[in-house]
Every structure is written in structure tokens, then in C-alpha cells.
Structure 1
Amino acid sequence: MSNAETVPYSTTMHVRDHCLCLHTQRAARALARRFDRAFRHLGINNGQFSLLMSLNRPEPPAMSPVADLLAMDRTTLTAVLKPLTRRGLVEIVPGEKDRREKRLKLTPEGLALLAQATPIWIAEHAEVETKLPQGDGDRLRQNLLIISKDV
């Protein structure tokens, strides 16, 4: 093994300082922790808030569009739904036209919780955006959207 090639430490430092994936992951984790703390007293986390919000539609959506919006596969979505359905915040109902189709519906309790969580999200989100240069969240969202569609 003494002849194995090594990566110079300078390369490690370059990756640390320039890797978009690393910086995006770090930012995502920091944001997740922030919103988890903000929602804790409601008994939900940031991912559950996003899922509940994604279900707030005029008609209950099917699982696939929700999974696509949240960038997860259906198996992961099913696992994330379990605590919300156990808690009575979401129910899985058959489709009207195709009874085999699963639709996701916020219950009255889910709607009430979402109504409590939304002002918290608004306040936290506004505070995060003030930390961006010129409060320019739109530019960051546009850049992240470009990256996420390129994959």
C-alpha cells in the first residue's frame, strides 16, 4: 500500500472551500435545525411542515406529485406520512375516479396545525432572508432551482 496515490491536503482544503454540495448540505442542515426548533412546540419538524403544506390544495393530491415536489421517492414519502397519519393530521383516501389510487388529505386537525405553524414559518423565513446579501432570497431560490432541475 505504500505505493498508493494520495490526495494532497491542499486538494482537501480546496474541496472544503469550493464544494457546492458540501456548502448546500451544511446550509440545509442549519436551516433544518432552525425550523425544527421553531416548530418543536407544535410537535412537528421542518420536513413534516413542508409535507403538510404540500397537501394544502383544493383537491387531495396523489402521492407521486407530492413525492416529486418534496424530491423524495414514494417509499420515503410513505414512511414520512406514518407519524402524521397516526397523529390524525393526514388521511390517505382512495381517488374518486380510480379507487386504487391513494390521495393525501389534510384532516381538520392537520389544517389547524398548519394554520398555527404558518406564522412561525413566515417569521423564521423572513429573519433568514434578512441575513442574505440585500435580503435577496429570490436569487438564491433561482440558483437552487437551476441546480435541482439539472440533476
Structure 2
Amino acid sequence: MVEVDNHGDASDFDIPSQCNCTKIRRAARRMTRLYDVCIAESGVKITQYSILGYLKHRGPKTMLQLADLLAMDRATIGHNLRPLERDGFVTIEVSKTDRRARIVTVTEKGLACVDAGRPGWDRAQAEIDRLVGINEAEVLRSMADDVAERLGKQQSF
């Protein structure tokens, strides 16, 4: 629904109240803060914790595969991986089959980090479930995956 200002000009509406991106990013920032606080004892932020989780549950990935899984560009994934590599949570090696590709693998220290963060992550999940409802949280995750998948198929941007 387009809001009309006092002068009746329908082209001048309140963009933040209607913008899908603004609404999702606002919710994502608040959710990120919640998870970061809850997993602080692990020593990493939720983005890095997610990377470690992907590697734990899906095995070694190329930087490009990780970037795609997290909907990040290669520079951003590299920015998130550098401290994980520096602190010994992951290793990054040149692929044996494609010298251009870098393979990222979670280390024992990285697995321990995932384990250390799990109680906090569980608290964050429970808080989201409490605030929005268990079924709604499941719908939220499904919708987020669906939107990411659909937008990921767009080649025009």
C-alpha cells in the first residue's frame, strides 16, 4: 500500500516503511546482535560461527562455495575467514585440482569453538522461538531460504 502525503502526491511515500530490504536488514541486525551476545563465549561472531557450522556439517568447501552458501562476495568471505585462519579455527589450502581455488577446512580448534558456542546458540534460537513462535520461526527460516534461492538465480544483478 502506497502512503500518500498531505499534498496527494503518490510518488512521495515513506520508503522505509515499505522497503523489503530495509525491513529484513533491520530484523537481521537485531537478530545478529542477539546471537553475537549469546555466543560471545565462543570467541567468534555469528557470521564466523555460521561458517564453522557449514564446514563442520557439510565438509571442506572452496571459498567460492562458502561465499555462495552465505550469499557473500568473495572479498567478504575472505574478510571473515582471515581471523578464523589466523586463530587456527580453519585451514585454507590451494586446491589440488584447481590451483585458483582455495579449500577451507575446519580444524579441531574450530570444532571446539562450535561446541563452545552451542549453548549460547541454543539460547538465541530459543529466544527467537519464544518471541515469534516456534512455527513462525520455522516459516521465517523457510521464507529466508526461498528468497535467497530465488534472488540467487537472478543473473541481472
Whether TM-score is above 0.5 comes out as yes
User: Amino acid of the residue matched to residue 24 of structure 1?
Assistant: I
**For structure 1, which segment, 53-62 or 121-130, has the greater mean C-alpha deviation from structure 2 after superposition?**
53-62
| CA displacement at 1:133 relative to structure 2 | 4.4
Structure 1: segments with no counterpart, 5+ residues: 1-6
User: What pairs with 1:70-85 in structure 2 (closer than 5 Å)?
Assistant: 70-85=70-85
Q: Taking CA–CA contacts closer than 8 Å with sequence separation of 6 or more, which of the two structures ends up with the larger relative contact order?
A: 2
| CA displacement at 1:127 relative to structure 2 | 1.7
The percent identity for this pair of structures is 31
Q: Deviation digits for residues 21-51 of structure 1, max 9, x if unmatched?
A: 1111110000011111112232211111111
The secondary structure found in structure 1 opposite 2:114 is helix
- Distance in 1 between residues matched to 2:26 and 2:65, nearest whole Å: 27
TM-score by length of 1: 0.82
The secondary structure found in structure 1 opposite 2:121 is helix
**2:94·2:102 contact (CA, 8 Å) conserved in 1?**
yes
1:116 aligns with 2:111: no
Aligned length: 143
Structure 2: segments with no counterpart, 5+ residues: 1-8, 152-157
- Quickly say closer, same or farther: Cα 1:119–1:41, change in 2 above 3 A: closer
| CA displacement at 1:134 relative to structure 2 | 5.8
Q: Deviation digits for residues 50-94 of structure 1, max 9, x if unmatched?
A: 111111146421111111001011121111111111111111123
- Distance in 2 between residues matched to 1:85 and 1:18, nearest whole Å: 40
The secondary structure found in structure 1 opposite 2:92 is strand
How big is the alpha-carbon RMSD for the aligned residues of Structure 1 and Structure 2? Answer: 2.3
**For structure 1, which segment, 51-60 or 74-83, has the greater mean C-alpha deviation from structure 2 after superposition?**
51-60
User: What pairs with 1:53-132 in structure 2 (closer than 5 Å)?
Assistant: 53-57=53-57, 59-98=59-98, 100-132=100-132
